[in-house]
Amino acid sequence: MNYKLVKLKWIDSIQSHGWVHKNDLKELKMEIISVGYLIKEDKDFMVITSSISEESFCAPLQIPKIAITYFMELENDDSA
């Protein structure tokens, strides 16, 4: 198993609960920081996970590339 360890910052969607008056709408920005193993990438998405076994991944997270504001590959010493 040889996957890149990465750090991503990305903008998530935000939803209000119940009825909201138009004068109460605010421009909100929810920036998320995620660290994990990059298990799949294509032109539109990156998929990361926190845990890997020989044949499976735990709770993969698919993030649209258009939402990613920062990407960094981290040092990965997977010799342990």
Residue 38 lies in a domain: yes
Residue 8 lies in a domain: yes
Residues whose CB is less than 8 angstroms from the CB of residue 43 and which lie 6 or more positions away in sequence, other chains included: 65
pTM of the full structure: 0.84
Q: Quick: pLDDT tens for 6-42.
A: 999 999 998 888 998 999 888 888 999 999 999 999 9
52 pLDDT band, cuts 50/70/90, is: very high
Sequence length of the chain is 80
Residue 23 lies in a domain: no
Taking the CB of residue 46, how many other CB atoms lie within 10 A of it? 22
Residue 64 lies in a domain: yes
Residue 35, domain CATH? 2.30.30
